[in-house]
Amino acid sequence: MATDNSVLVIGAGVFGLTAARELQQRGYRVTVADPGPVPHPLAASNDLSRMVRMDYGGDGLYSSLGADAIDGWHRWNTNWGRELYHEDGFLLMSSVPMAVGSFEQDSYSLLTGRGFPLEKLAPGDLANKYPRWNSGHYIDGYFNPRAGWAEAGEITASLALDAQNSGVSIVTGFTASGLLQEGNKVVGAVSSDGTELRAEWVVVAAGVWTPILLPELSDRMWPVGQPIFYFKPQDPDAYRAPSFPPWGADIPRSGWYGFPANSEGVFKMANHGRGTRVHADAERVISPEQEAHCREFLAQSLPSLASLPFHGTKMCLYCDTWDGDFWIARDPERHGLVVVTGGSGHAFKFAPVLGGLAADALEGVENAYSERFAWRAMGEIKSEDIRYTGE
């Protein structure tokens, strides 16, 4: 590999593939390396569904990024010639009145202030429009029609194809075990079998495996396990939009969210909580307590599913940063190294705009997000600092 404008991207998840494609389009010669297959079975970017929304409480920055991303999802659907992003909306329910300072009210105020036509739930709306939900429990909330869900695994596969079609080379069977360095410059990576890939720039996009490759970052980002539950109801249409859009139920307090049944009739729900800190290669199973927690929620909120057997369960790993913000930045100390990761359980929705942010970081171009996603020291975590960003 020549070392002029070449880039080696380590990891073919949504961060790596979008960075690769954008950099190729900006004139670099890009190779992506991954153990494979792509999408990798353990990658966070590989699942049935991911939530897409711009509802981010009072956080105007993520909200703007979300709005741009949704425009991008529509463009991608058109380019793919098939709908992999489904704009079914987002139903946010609350068992307490939405109060100023809450995630729900702040999202509502910010988005309506920006001109988005959200539909506040009036008394009776939940029972009439979304009858599967326990309307005795959820007394407030709103519906945002400009949101939806993305078929994550299919999309990651399509991004890999798009990248290859734009000239990116994807090398599978390569598990980077270390970076190659000459003096103060990173010049490539070596795999566990001794194969070397060299490039002018190395972009590490290895998700939860990033702190294994870069242990110096392990005090600022780490893998956290979160449970996912799948069901196969007999009447899947009852769990599809418009009467059953993507949803969050008391989400800043309970963490529960989920999706309509997909084309195979599979209904998925998950919990976005503090999760459990685990090793990246930990066994991906959930505990009986997590199963019981799910059952308890269903009995209270969605009783029609309360006794349905699980179609499947799994633990999925977030790469959490200490402050919940992404990490899209150049190493300030070593030349030639860029890190794009730290999805913190909410990055997939931004796929259409992530590549541009990564390429800007490599080129040293400042944008509205550079500071928030910068290479940063570990700060002090106070409980009030732990912002709810959602899934």
Ligand X SMILES: Cc1cc2nc3c(=O)[nH]c(=O)nc-3n(C[C@H](O)[C@H](O)[C@H](O)COP(=O)(O)OP(=O)(O)OC[C@H]3O[C@@H](n4cnc5c(N)ncnc54)[C@H](O)[C@@H]3O)c2cc1C
DSSP state of 58: B
Question: Between 32 and 71, how does the x/- string for binding to ligand X read (CB under 6 A)?
Answer: -xxx----x--xxx----xx--------------------
Q: List, in order, residues 6 or more apart from 125 with CB less than 8 Å away.
A: none
Burial (Cβ within 10 Å: 0-12, 13-18, ≥19) of residue 35: buried
For ligand X, what does the binding mask look like between residues 284 and 323, x meaning CB under 6 A? --------------------------------xxxx----
Residue with tokens 């000239």: 167
Q: CA distances (Å), 38 to each of 161, 350, 355, in order?
A: 10, 19, 18
Q: Looking at 9, 16, 23, 339, which residue binds ligand X (CB under 6 A)? A: 16
Among 207, 211, 236, 245, binds ligand X (CB under 6 A): 207
* Residue 269 tokens, joined: 């729900």
Q: Which of residues 322-381 bind ligand X (CB under 6 A)?
A: 341, 343, 345-349
Q: Are strands 247-249 and 90-94 parallel, antiparallel or unpaired?
A: parallel
For ligand X, which is the closer residue by CB, 15 or 103?
A: 15
> Rule CB under 6 A: is residue 255 a binding residue for ligand X?
no
Residue of 358, 274, 268 whose CA lies nearest to 314: 268
> How far apart are CB 202 and ligand X at their closest, in Å?
11
Which CB atom, from 81 or from 194, has the smaller least distance to ligand X? Answer: 194
Give 319's strand partners. 223
E-strand stretches of 47-132: 50-52, 85-86, 90-94, 119-120
Cβ at position 321, least distance to ligand X in Å: 11
Could you list the residues that contact ligand X (CB under 6 A)? 10-16, 33-35, 40, 43-45, 50-51, 174-176, 205-207, 209, 213, 226, 228, 270, 316-319, 341, 343, 345-349, 391
